[in-house]
Amino acid sequence: MTEIHDEGATVAERVERRWAAVAVLIIVFLAGMAAFAGIHQATMPQTTVETIDPTTIHLQGEFVESNLGSAVGADGSVTVRAVGQQYSFSPPCLLVPSRTPITIRATSADVVHGLLVQGTNINTMLVPGYVSVQKATFSEPGEHLMPCQEFCSVGHEGMWGKVKVVDKQQFLSELADKRRISCAP
């Protein structure tokens, strides 16, 4: 009787060990995929932590009102700057070119907000005191809603921005005589 029992115990242990090995392999595979995607820059978190004083952003530095919106740099790259505050984004509508790598730089003037562009994987937290940086490319012209995805007190539900994607030629011609553009009315 005990012999059968012992035999059963050995089998049970073997099966169990195999399952544990399979489970470990699954996890190694998952972590490996994350590393692979990261190395290939599919999407990676920003590497450096940048800070900024939210009490003075409207007075000086890169987030003063006249500097918000989309701009083209000397190297042809497009940068979009935005600020979240209770309960709106500035500018409320971002104008961006399609099929062009862009960099979004954004921060908060008061509490924690979130910037999410529906239908894309642009999704970042705006934490006061820090600058959020995200790289993105829009494939097609069109419009996207850009809600605040983090609770920022009563009024949170009213915080909806917009992103308008136009083709690159139109974007450049609209920008021609201005330093910054947005689609804010």
Partner 1 sequence: MLHNRRLILAHFWLAFAVFAAALLLGAWQMYVRSPLSPWISNPEWYYRSLTAHGTVMGYVFPTLVAMAFGYAISETSLKQNLVGLRWAWAGFWLIAVGAVVAMIPVALGLASVLYTFYPPLIGSPFYYIGVVMVVLGSWIWVALMSINLRIWKKENPGTPVPLPMFANVAGSYLWAWTAVGAALELLLQIIPVALGFKSTIDAGLARVFFSWTLHAIVYFWLMPTYIAYYTIVPRAIGGRIYSDTMARISFILFLVVAMPIGIHHAFADPQVGAGFKFLHSVFTALVALPTLLTVFTICASVEIAARARGGRGAFGWMGALPWRNPMMLAVTFSFVMLGFGGAGGLINMSYQLDTTIHNTQWITGHFHLIFGGAIVIMYFAIAYDLWPHLTGRPIASLGLVRLQLWLWFVGMIVTTFPWHYVGILGMPRRMSFFDYTDPALANEAVSVVLSAIGGVILAASGILFIFILISTQFSQPRQIEDYRFALAVHPPTRVPVALNSYGLWIALMIGLTVTNYGYPILQLAARDDTSVPAVYVGER
Which residues of this protein are in contact with Cu ion, per CB under 5 A? 113, 148, 152, 159
Could you identify the residue written with the tokens 């939210």?
Answer: 54
- Of 45 and 73, the one with the shorter C-beta distance to partner 1 is 45
Which of partner 1, Cu ion, none does 173 bind, CB closer than 5 to 8 A by kind? none
The contacts of residue 1 (CB under 8 Å, 6+ apart) are none
- Of 154 and 176, the one with the shorter C-beta distance to partner 1 is 154
Least Å distance between CB 154 and partner 1? 5
Which residues make up the interface to partner 1 (CB under 8 A)? 5, 8-9, 12-13, 15-16, 19-20, 23-24, 26-27, 30-31, 33-35, 37-38, 42-51, 53-55, 86, 110-112, 114, 116-119, 121-133, 143, 145, 147-157
Which of Cu ion, partner 1, none does 113 bind, CB closer than 5 to 8 A by kind? Cu ion
Paired residues of 125 in beta bridges: 114
Paired residues of 144 in beta bridges: 163
Cβ atoms 144, 125 nearer than 8 A: no
**Could you give the 3-state DSSP secondary structure of residue 79?**
strand
Strands 142-147 and 93-97: unpaired
